[in-house]
Amino acid sequence: MSMIPDITGGAGDTAAELAVEAGEPVPVGRKIIQGRSPFQLAWERLRTDKAAIVSMAVIAAIVIMALMAPLIAAWIGHGPNQQFIDIGENANGGPVAPNGTFWLGTDSSGRDLFVRIVYGARVSLSVGVLATLISIALGVVFGLAAGYLGGIVDVVIARVIDIMLAIPFLVLAISIATILHPSFWLVIFVVGILSFTYPARIVRGQVISLKEKEYIQAARALGAGPFRIMFIDLLPNVIAQVIVYGSLLIPASIVLEATLSFLGVGIPPPTADWGQMISDASGYYQYGYWWYLLFPSLALLITTLAFNILGDSVRDALDPRGGGLYV
Amino acid sequence: MIRYLTFRIGQAILVMWAATVVVFLLFFVGPGPDNVARTFAGRLATPARLAQIKHDLNLDQPLIEQYWHWLSNLLQGNLGYDYYKGESVNSVVVAALPATVSLVIGAAVIWIGYGVLSGVLSAVRPRTFLDRGFTTGALFFYSMPTFVLGLGLIWIFAYKLSPVTQFFPFHGFVAITANPGQWFEYLILPWLTVALVTAAGYTRLTRTSMLDVMNEDYIRTARSKGMSEGRVIRVHGLRAALTPVVTLAGLDIGTALGGVIITETLFGIPGLGFTIVQAIQSQDLPVILGIAVLAAAFVVFMNLVVDILYAVLDPRVRLY
């Protein structure tokens, strides 16, 4: 979090701190008043938000699960792509219900569903986070350029965004993935590049109002170039909005990735992927193999729900005026 | 107003033209120089067919000629030829359109109705049990991938409750002209799937917008002159709060008309989205290309309609 600016600067203005600096003893029982940056204040608010704490815990658990996937697989003794044709399939060759060996049952190829769900978390999380980083980076650069430079740059970027919004997201993603053959990195780039339009618009709008402020005029008067003004002076002041949007973009990217995989143009098999698993299960669950559909769906739903709740809480914390869900 | 209209229509044409350039680059340049005919042919590419495609699409000409040839066909309303199915893309699209339109219009009625109603109720009774119920529900469905919701609805209503309800057929589509009753029955679950996922955004937008509006001075004026609260909400609050909702609805309907891909696939509704997924499986690119262009046209058109509506409703918009 090194990019977070400490807007208050040194906290040495308060009487207590001055006293400490001067070597005078602080009276016992007297509270030291400290200056706090907006981000510290936001963190305080976030810490007292029960929904935020629960969702953070859930996300942490999913992240740990994803990181430890190989360990979990080794501990259980089932590989993610290992087929258990003798014990992992029933007499008809269908999936086996949850039992002591296969905690969440098996899939239609006799693979351990639990291990595959654990491995699926790796794909979902890495696509969600990396795609969001790409779209945020693009959105910040284009938004800053359009908002600060204005003129022809603004017109061109605004039209590019219009065009990207004109072709429906999923249709465009499907077209790209079909023509260029799906792969892990292609999915990340497609999801990331197609989502940059909203952060770009938000940053642009903020910058247009901020660039008339006195401190920007002062920077210009001191001879600062456009790059310095955009990235050193303007960026820290739009970063709160970007964080809020980014935290809501992660679950959206996870859903989009799962949707592409569900349609067969996402992560290619046999990589364990939640969307792919749900797609496979959709041909089986009607015949009594409920676990095959239920558990991957729950994994996906819990993940997106946790990120969305956290995103809402982050917005409330950074912008306490309201507009959030739990006002 | 005329000036604004001309400007706005010109802009729409420009965006549509640029969208055709993007789509062209994607489909005619993306596959690489020698693979274009191959990708258009689908899985059954005989040398004779490849030669025919090269001839049909002017693939031996420079790119700019190819683009011009393709664009002039588009302008004459010709979306191309589907070599896999052996018919024009136009007839594929025309066959698919009624199902998509039925699905989108019905779902839009539900999602706008429910979204606005729940948003208004939440906003006029903030922090109550009702508000929390609606907002939590919105968050839940907002987080839910469409295919999870759709499969869940099929599972519950079509399989688990099948002894109780003989009411939910869940796979296929009956044209409204053939049998209105069955048309309705077949579309209930698909409508709900699309509507519940989409309505979440409307609940939240209406709630936020309504909360803002209800704090305006003119609302206080309306109250202080003795107007009943219900009338204040309906006449003064709702009218102002609904403008962003109208914009969002226009965009969402435009996007959805390009194909409600997941829902149509889940419920076997032979609309544009279902067609595009089938086209992916058979590597049938002309159809994907045609639907992509058509989808862009829907979005640009709905955008235009919304902006013009705005200009009619709010004179300030016309000022530039």
Question: pLDDT for B132-172, tens place per residue?
Answer: 888 888 888 888 888 889 888 888 887 777 666 666 677 77
A8 pLDDT tier (thresholds 50, 70, 90): very low
| Subunit contact A293:B151, Cβ cutoff 8 A | yes
A325 pLDDT tier (thresholds 50, 70, 90): very low
Q: Can you tell me the mean pLDDT for A74-100?
A: 76
Diameter over CA atoms, chain A: 83
Whether the predicted pLDDT of A18 surpasses 80: no
The pLDDT value recorded for residue B33 is 67
Q: At what angle do helices B243-257 and B285-313 cross, to 10 degrees?
A: 160
How many Å lie between the alpha carbon of B3 and the closest alpha carbon of chain A? 20
Residue of A nearest to B252 (CA): A168
- How many Cβ atoms from other residues are within 10 Å of residue A317's Cβ? 22
| Subunit contact A178:B285, Cβ cutoff 8 A | yes
Sequence-separated (6 or more) residues with CB below 8 Å from residue A111? A78, A80, A81, A82, A83, A84, A88
Q: Do residues A84 and A111 lie in contact, with contact meaning Cβ atoms separated by under 8 Å? A: yes
Q: Can you tell me the mean pLDDT for A292-319?
A: 86
Residue of B nearest to A166 (CA): B296
CA distance linking residue A105 with residue A102, whole number of Å: 5
| Subunit contact B143:A308, Cβ cutoff 8 A | yes
Question: pLDDT for B297-315, tens place per residue?
Answer: 888 898 888 888 877 766 6
CA–CA distance from B100 to each of A171, B60, B74, B183, B316 (Å)? 15, 37, 22, 13, 36
CA distance linking residue B93 with residue A172, whole number of Å: 18
For testing contact with chain B, the best of A59, A124, A167, A315 (most B CBs within 10 A) = A167
Sequence-separated (6 or more) residues with CB below 8 Å from residue A63? A125
Q: Which residue type occupies A161? A: I
| Subunit contact B259:A159, Cβ cutoff 8 A | no
Question: pLDDT for A244-269, tens place per residue?
Answer: 888 888 998 999 888 888 888 888 88
CATH value of A45-318 in 1.10.3720.10, 1.20.120.790, 3.90.1530.10, 2.30.40.10: 1.10.3720.10
Closest CB from A167, A179, A325 relative to B19: A167
pLDDT, mean over chain B: 82
Q: In B, which residues are within 8 Å of A159 by CB distance?
A: 14-15, 18
For testing contact with chain A, the best of B147, B211, B265 (most A CBs within 10 A) = B147
Question: pTM of this prediction?
Answer: 0.82
Question: pLDDT for B96-134, tens place per residue?
Answer: 888 899 899 999 999 999 999 998 888 888 778 888 888
Q: Can you tell me the mean pLDDT for B3-16?
A: 86
| Subunit contact B259:A171, Cβ cutoff 8 A | yes
CA distance linking residue B152 with residue B138, whole number of Å: 17
The pLDDT value recorded for residue B164 is 66
Phi, psi of A17 (to 5 degrees): -65, -40
Domain boundaries, chain A: 1-35, 45-318
How many Å lie between the alpha carbon of B28 and the closest alpha carbon of chain A? 10
| Subunit contact A263:B299, Cβ cutoff 8 A | no
How many Å lie between the alpha carbon of B298 and the closest alpha carbon of chain A? 8
The pLDDT value recorded for residue B316 is 62
CB contacts under 8 A, B 182-221 vs A, are 204, 208, 211
Range among A296-305, A306-315, B58-67 rated most confident? A296-305
The pLDDT value recorded for residue A319 is 67
Q: Can you tell me the mean pLDDT for B68-88?
A: 79
Q: Give the three-class secondary structure for B40.
A: helix
Q: In B, which residues are within 8 Å of A264 by CB distance?
A: 280-281
Dihedral of the alpha carbons of A237, A242, A244, A245, in degrees to the nearest 10 = 150
| Subunit contact A259:B147, Cβ cutoff 8 A | yes
How many Å lie between the alpha carbon of A162 and the closest alpha carbon of chain B? 7
- B281 at the A interface (CB within 8 A)? yes
Question: pLDDT for B229-283, tens place per residue?
Answer: 888 888 888 877 888 888 888 888 888 887 788 899 888 888 898 988 888 777 7
CA distance linking residue B255 with residue B276, whole number of Å: 14
Closest CB from A170, A309, A322 relative to B139: A309
| Subunit contact B276:A174, Cβ cutoff 8 A | yes
Q: Can you tell me the mean pLDDT for A116-140?
A: 92
Sequence-separated (6 or more) residues with CB below 8 Å from residue A97? A105, A289, A291
| Subunit contact A278:B142, Cβ cutoff 8 A | no
| Subunit contact A312:B139, Cβ cutoff 8 A | yes
CA distance linking residue A239 with residue A243, whole number of Å: 6
CB contacts under 8 A, B 127-146 vs A, are 127, 132, 135-136, 138-140, 142-146
Q: Can you tell me the mean pLDDT for A315-322?
A: 67
Q: What is the CA radius of gyration of chain B?
A: 24
- B26 at the A interface (CB within 8 A)? yes
Q: Which two tokens stand for residue A326?
A: 């739990």
